[in-house]
Amino acid sequence: MLERVQSERVQADRTMIEIRDVTRSYGSFKALDNASLSIREGEFFSLLGPSGCGKTTLLRMIAGFDTPTSGSIAVDGQPMDGIPANRRPTNMVFQSYAIFPHLNVEQNVAYGLKRLKLEAGEEKRRVEEALAQVSLTGLGKRRATELSGGQRQRVALARALVMRPKVLLLDEPLSALDKKLREQMQVELRRLQQAVGITFVLVTHDQYEALAMSDRIAVMFGGRIAQVASPKEIYQRPVNRQVADFLGGMNFVKAEIVEENGASLVLDTLGFGRVRTDKPKAFVRNGGAATLGIRPERLRVLWDNATAKFEVAGKVVERHYFGEITHLIVEIPGLEKPLSVTETNDFGADDIPVGAPIRLAYDPEALVAMAD
């Protein structure tokens, strides 16, 4: 088993799921609009977006519960057209967990194995192994109705993993758990995925969940895939305002395009002056205007006489205390909207008086250009 996983790791860039030009229409409404995506073997991949963006529709089409109106889906090189859910090499963890209430934990986990007609010893061994993987050893005889939310989720995971699928699909698996348990399960899910080496496809509307767990993320809006990239790139180099806004806070500054060439852009802004930034891959110019973005935590307060190569000056108009950080709203002359700044409280950002003048340092690397 271990050997197999390692040999698979070597060919890490092999494609496991190929989604090509997939559209799903309900009458005139397109739940998914011409989506193309390829998910690599052994990858933890997230489909992230607000409700109704088509992420669940896409997941259900990979599982075989829904059929594309047009386009094709292949899993491990094998086209899935016309193949029903019960014959696909995928298994799913449902949002409601769908634990069979008339069976106990062991019977739930063994449900899919029954059809494989394994030897009794082998079946028992695999069930035990799956229960151990999700830390449920010893709870095999529990009735489904006697489990907590977190335990039900683990049963759902074990029941899918025991089938040793090529792809594990997870439909908002953590949304029913409370915050603390959810954060704990994020870490566990990630660890489990790395241990078993199976391709995981997670659907979520929680950006932090996607950032914390994924190798790569596809951000979706209105049935379209807006951006596919690593969590870091998605967060730092969002392809447009919508993506930037969905993944945490972002300050948007109006900008004028002065110069455009292959790899970079020169923009004129009122608050930040003239800046040169990387040109985003999908940048399509829309007239002379563009938007410059900077994350609130990439603006640092300059204390006393400290100076920085790149700084802007303004006035604090609001201050919000959040325990380990303070959120400042800073008015900058020339900007039509004040900037949001988050600063850790180590140096007393929580004591900055409202109305005080303030200087902010920034790294030009943190500035992102976006098409308007």
**What are the residues binding another protein (CB under 8 A)?**
63-65, 84-87, 90-92, 94-102, 111-112, 115-116, 145, 147, 149, 152, 159-160, 163, 172, 175-176
Minimum distance from residue 112 beta carbon to another protein (Å) = 3
Taking the least distance from each CB to another protein, the nearer of 177 and 370 is: 177
Output the smallest distance, CB 90 to another protein, in A.
8
Shortest spacing between CB 102 and another protein, in angstroms: 5
CA distance 125 to 102: 22
Q: Which is nearer to another protein, 91 or 214 (CB)?
A: 91
Q: Which is nearer to another protein, 105 or 267 (CB)?
A: 105
What angle do helix axes 179-196 and 120-133 make, rounded to 10 degrees?
A: 130
Nearest approach, Cβ of residue 154 and another protein (Å): 12
Q: Which is nearer to another protein, 174 or 352 (CB)?
A: 174
Residue 366 C-beta: closest distance to another protein, Å: 37
* Closer Cβ to another protein, 115 or 309, answer by number: 115
Which residue's CB is nearer to another protein, number 37 or number 147? Answer: 147
**What is the smallest separation between the CB atom of 81 and another protein, expressed in angstroms?**
17
CB 368, CB 237: distance < 8 Å: yes
**Cβ 341 to another protein, closest distance in Å?**
36
Of residues 82 and 323, the one with the C-beta less far from another protein? 82
Q: How far is the CB of 205 from another protein (least distance, A)?
A: 12
In angstroms, what CA-CA distances link 106 with 53, 116, 192, 274, 293? 36, 16, 20, 65, 52
Please choose, from the candidates 366, 363, 327, the residue with its C-alpha nearest in 3D space to the C-alpha of residue 345.
327
In angstroms, give the least distance from the CB of 87 to another protein. 8
Contact status, residue 49 vs residue 220, Cβ threshold 8 Å: yes
Report the Cα 19 to chain-centroid distance in Å.
Answer: 18
Tell me, letter by letter, the H, E, C secondary structure of the chain: CHHHHHHHHHCCCCEEEEEEEEEEEECCEEEEEEEEEEEECCCEEEEECCCCCCHHHHHHHHHCCCCCCEEEEEECCEECCCCCHHHCCEEEECCCCCCCCCCEHHHHHHCCHHHHCCCHHHHHHHHHHHHHHCCCCCCCCCEHHHCCHHHHHHHHHHHHHCCCCCEEEEECCCCCCCHHHHHHHHHHHHHHHHHHCCEEEEEECCHHHHHHHCCEEEEEECCEEEEEECHHHHHHCCCCHHHHHHCCCCEEEEEEEEEECCCEEEEEECCCEEEEEECCCCCCCECCEEEEEECHHHCEEECCCCCCCCEEEEEEEEEEECCCEEEEEEECCCCCCCEEEEEEHHHCHHHCCCCCEEEEECCHHHCEEEEC
CB of 174 to another protein, least distance (A): 10
Nearer to another protein, 85 or 302 (CB): 85
Measured from the CB atom, is 116 or 356 closer to another protein? 116
Q: Which is nearer to another protein, 110 or 213 (CB)?
A: 110
